[in-house]
């Protein structure tokens, strides 16, 4: 009995020691705990990190879609933080300071800082991660300048995602990244020089929505492991090389919306692994290669609309343009790209000249300063020997220098940057600065608000003197408003904040007063917004020619664009803007199918017919209206929010969630073969939640965005596995 009790005691002691050992291994070092708190401070306390304190046990924090920390042997090995910030961090933020702190986490393997408002250049000190970092994701921020050449020293890097930032110039030589498998540089301002030096083991490359020009680089042929290549929405010219169709591993090839011209390679052999080929919206002529039009490759999805191809008898023949159109456009495109490339090379040479001049200047300056210092030392030595050191004179000299410096300070008035709205400092790319228009300018732009310029209720289309197309919304104020014109002008600052990627952004305003007998007699505010000319989502869903363009990935991108625009209105300005008249007609699409919400609430006091709505009610009403839009995106059926058809369709979809075949039959036929069933199911499920009669049970707009991001991740995983076009599973 005694020996038995002793063995139990030893066992307990052993387990206790084991537990203590495991706890010590998971406990962060005090230095890394302090580093994480410094990171929290540098990122200006984003909501997801706001609860951190000196007492936080970081290694035991629960993971979520927006946050994750992994530890090993007392060190942080993964840091993932995803925010929802749509504007830059304050002026005190510095990328250099942030990465100085981040690189203290010397064992970090995965670093993901997404949508946190990070701005400024990517500092070269990122090379301090050269032996540890395997995954780097800095997408959806405001990081600018060139991608540093030293990034190629991150030898362990497997995934590099810098999408949706403001990088420009050329992509550096990446051949040194022998482990790199994923490269995503979407949505920047890179180019026009083509990427010519890529890592040899790449599996996924996405460079869409940039300004790359010239011909496709031959080096792509050497990327033997490449499975997915997306070069859409650039300025590539010339013919599409033959090797792309027979590439041994390529599964998804997207070359849409470029300037490719000439005939497609007339090859009878295509790779059996090629599942998706999208060459739509180019300048291609001739016929489709036999291997792409053959029924042998029935699992392929081939999109070739809006070219000048000869596809007689094909349903897509109606989407082709005349051959003469493509030939003329191709000539202009080649000339324009050559000009852009020449200008870029000239600028690069000028920059190099400036850099060289700076280096030479610095060297000369250092030599001169050294000479002066040497001279001063010699003079001081001579003075000390002769013991003639006039201290009073020395002090007088110092006072004189300080006085001179003070007097030379400019007296010119500089605007206080705190008075400039944040969104004016970080304006949406391509928008002119916010300004106050004169009434004469707007009368000239709209031809004196002529009825022919009317494009909606109190909404006019116009053209400014600079040639910019705009819309002008006329908002008449109540005659007995107590708000003075001066106070009203001060309240206009809120308008300058309404600038976002997914809004028809406000460019400026005008406060005008008309005399009696004029349609806008009294005080009227004229809101000038960007004009979106590519039509609305309603136009796309009701026009059978445009509808075919909206496959499931495009529809999910539109859905999250609408949700992100709503989220900005709710949380991106203070106070938030709710009750935003969200109808399918007000979801505009630009040339790249990017969502631009129009018709949203303009938060002005004393509007005629203005009604007050509580924030909570307004938010839940917006979520409901978003649910209606989402149902129309899924089914392709256009309906009113209050129609009986909506209730019937909602009931059918609820039943469909229990029977996959029924749910598939309710989806728009135009998207069949392009969606993952799980992506469809979760999207339908979430749309129904948005339409809940009890508004308290409707999700928040943050939940809307997160759930849509999840469905997109499911879809991307399904697509990257080579399922697109095979059938929905």
Q: For residue 583, what are its two tokens? A: 């109808």
Bridge partner list, 70? 78
The C-alpha atoms of residue 560 and residue 679 are separated, in whole angstroms, by 13
Are 510 and 438 in contact by the 8 Å Cβ rule? The answer is yes
- Give the residue range(s) of CATH 3.30.200.20 domains in the chain: 430-531
Q: How far is CA 332 from the centre of its chain?
A: 30
Domain with CATH 3.80.10.10 in the chain: 25-190
- Confidence (pLDDT) at 399: 31
Tally of CA atoms within 13 A in the half-sphere of 14 that contains its CB: 6
The pLDDT, as a whole number, for residue 384 is 44
Q: Distance (Å, rounded) from C-alpha 68 to C-alpha 76?
A: 11
CA distance 289 to 270: 9
* Cis peptide leading into residue 624 (ω within 30°): no
pLDDT for position 189: 93
Helices 644-656 + 615-635 axis angle, to 10 = 70
Q: Which two tokens stand for residue 49?
A: 């990190």
* Calpha distance 216→212 (Å, rounded): 10
- Indicate the helix (H) or strand (E) that contains 425: helix 422-425
Low-confidence ranges of the chain (pLDDT < 70): 1-26, 267-268, 293-299, 336, 338-430, 478-491, 514-522, 604-616, 641-642, 720-729
**Number of residues written out for the chain:** 729
Q: What is the C-alpha separation between 514 and 493, in angstroms, rounded?
A: 23
What would the DSSP string read from start to end of 489-542?
Answer: HHHGGGGGG---TTB--EEEEEEEEE-TTSTTBEEEEEEEEE---S-BHHHHHH
Alpha-carbon distance 523 to 511, whole Å? 7
pLDDT value, residue 408: 31
CA dist., res. 102 & res. 74, Å (int): 16
Round to whole Å and give the CA distance between 483 and 604: 11
The pLDDT assigned to 22 comes to 46
- How many angstroms separate the most distant Cα atoms in the chain? 109
CATH topology of domain 534-602+610-729: Transferase(Phosphotransferase); domain 1 (1.10.510)
Single pTM value for the model: 0.51
Whether 201 and 180 have beta carbons less than 8 Å apart is answered as yes
| CA 295 – CA 275 distance, rounded (Å) | 13
Tokens of 426: 């970080």
Q: What pLDDT score does 645 carry?
A: 83
CATH topology of domain 430-531: Phosphorylase Kinase; domain 1 (3.30.200)
CATH fold of 25-190 reads 3.80.10
For the chain, where do the domains classified as CATH 1.10.510.10 start and end?
A: 534-602+610-729
Apex CA 31: angle with CA 29 and CA 37, to 5°? 110
**Over the chain, what is the mean pLDDT?**
79
């Amino acid at each position: 009995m005694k020996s038995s009790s002793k063995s139990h005691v030893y066992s307990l002691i052993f387990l206790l020691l084991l537990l203590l050992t495991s706890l010590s291994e998971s406990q962060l070092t005090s230095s890394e705990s302090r580093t994480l708190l410094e990171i929290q401070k540098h990122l200006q306390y984003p909501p997801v990190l706001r609860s951190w304190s000196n007492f936080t046990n970081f290694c035991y924090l629960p993971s979520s879609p927006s946050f994750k920390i992994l530890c090993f042997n007392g060190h942080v090995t993964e840091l993932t933080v995803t925010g929802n910030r749509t504007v830059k961090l304050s002026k005190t933020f510095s990328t250099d300071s942030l990465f100085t702190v981040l690189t203290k986490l010397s064992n970090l393997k995965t670093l993901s800082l997404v949508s946190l408002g990070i701005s400024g250049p990517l500092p070269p000190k990122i090379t301090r991660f050269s032996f540890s970092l395997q995954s780097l994701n800095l997408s959806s921020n405001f990081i600018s300048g060139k991608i540093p050449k030293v990034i190629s020293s991150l030898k362990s890097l497997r995934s590099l995602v810098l999408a949706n930032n403001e990088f420009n110039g050329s992509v550096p030589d990446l051949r040194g990244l022998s482990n790199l498998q994923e490269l995503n540089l979407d949505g920047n301002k890179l180019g026009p020089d083509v990427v010519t030096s890529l890592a040899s083991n790449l599996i996924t490359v996405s460079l869409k929505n940039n300004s790359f020009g010239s011909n496709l680089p031959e080096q792509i042929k050497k990327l033997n492991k490449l499975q997915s290549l997306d070069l859409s929405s650039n300025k590539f010219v010339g013919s599409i090389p033959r090797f792309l169709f027979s590439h041994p591993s390529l599964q998804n090839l997207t070359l849409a919306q470029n300037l490719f011209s000439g005939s497609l390679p007339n090859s009878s052999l295509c790779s059996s692994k090629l599942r998706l080929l999208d060459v739509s919206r180019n300048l291609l002529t001739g016929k489709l290669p036999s291997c792409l039009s053959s029924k042998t490759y029935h699992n392929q999805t081939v999109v070739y609309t809006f070219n000048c191809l000869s596809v007689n008898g094909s349903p897509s023949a109606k989407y082709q343009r005349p051959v003469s159109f493509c030939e003329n456009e191709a000539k202009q495109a080649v000339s324009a790209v050559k000009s852009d490339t020449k200008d870029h090379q000239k600028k690069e040479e000028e920059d190099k000249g400036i850099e060289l001049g700076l280096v030479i200047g610095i060297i000369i300056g250092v030599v001169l300063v050294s000479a002066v210092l040497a001279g001063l030392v010699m003079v001081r030595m001579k003075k000390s020997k002769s013991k003639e050191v006039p201290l009073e004179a020395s002090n007088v000299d110092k006072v004189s220098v300080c006085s001179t410096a003070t007097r030379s300070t400019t007296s010119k008035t500089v605007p206080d940057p705190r008075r400039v709205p944040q969104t004016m400092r970080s304006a949406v790319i391509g928008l002119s600065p916010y300004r106050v228009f004169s009434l004469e300018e707007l009368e000239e732009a709209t031809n004196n608000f002529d009825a022919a310029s009317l494009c909606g209720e109190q909404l006019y289309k116009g053209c400014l003197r600079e040639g910019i197309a705009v819309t002008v919304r006329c908002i008449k104020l109540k005659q007995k408003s107590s708000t003075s014109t001066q106070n009203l002008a001060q309240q206009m600052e809120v308008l300058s904040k309404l600038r976002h990627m997914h809004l028809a952004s406000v460019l400026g305003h005008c406060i005008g007063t008309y005399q009696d007998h004029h349609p806008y007699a009294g005080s009227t505010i004229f809101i000038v917004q960007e004009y979106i000319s590519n039509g609305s989502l309603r136009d796309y869903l009701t026009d059978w020619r445009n509808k075919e363009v909206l496959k499931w990935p495009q529809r999910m991108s539109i859905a999250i664009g609408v949700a992100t625009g709503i989220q900005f209105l709710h949380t991106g300005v203070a106070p938030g803007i709710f009750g935003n008249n969200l109808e399918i007609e007000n979801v505009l699409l630009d040339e790249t199918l990017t969502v631009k919400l129009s018709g949203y609430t303009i938060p002005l006091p004393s509007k005629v017919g203005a009604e007050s709505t509580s924030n909570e009610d307004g938010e839940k009403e917006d979520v409901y209206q978003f649910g209606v839009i989402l149902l129309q995106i899924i089914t392709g059926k256009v309906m009113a929010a209050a129609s009986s058809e909506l209730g019937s369709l909602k009931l059918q979809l609820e039943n469909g969630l229990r029977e996959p075949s029924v749910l598939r039959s309710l989806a728009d036929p135009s998207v069949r073969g392009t969606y993952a069933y799980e992506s469809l199911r979760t999207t339908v499920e979430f749309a129904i939640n948005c339409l809940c009669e009890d508004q308290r049970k409707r999700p928040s707009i943050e939940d809307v965005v997160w759930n849509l991001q999840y469905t997109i991740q499911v879809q991307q995983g399904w697509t990257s596995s080579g399922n697109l076009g095979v059938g929905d599973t």
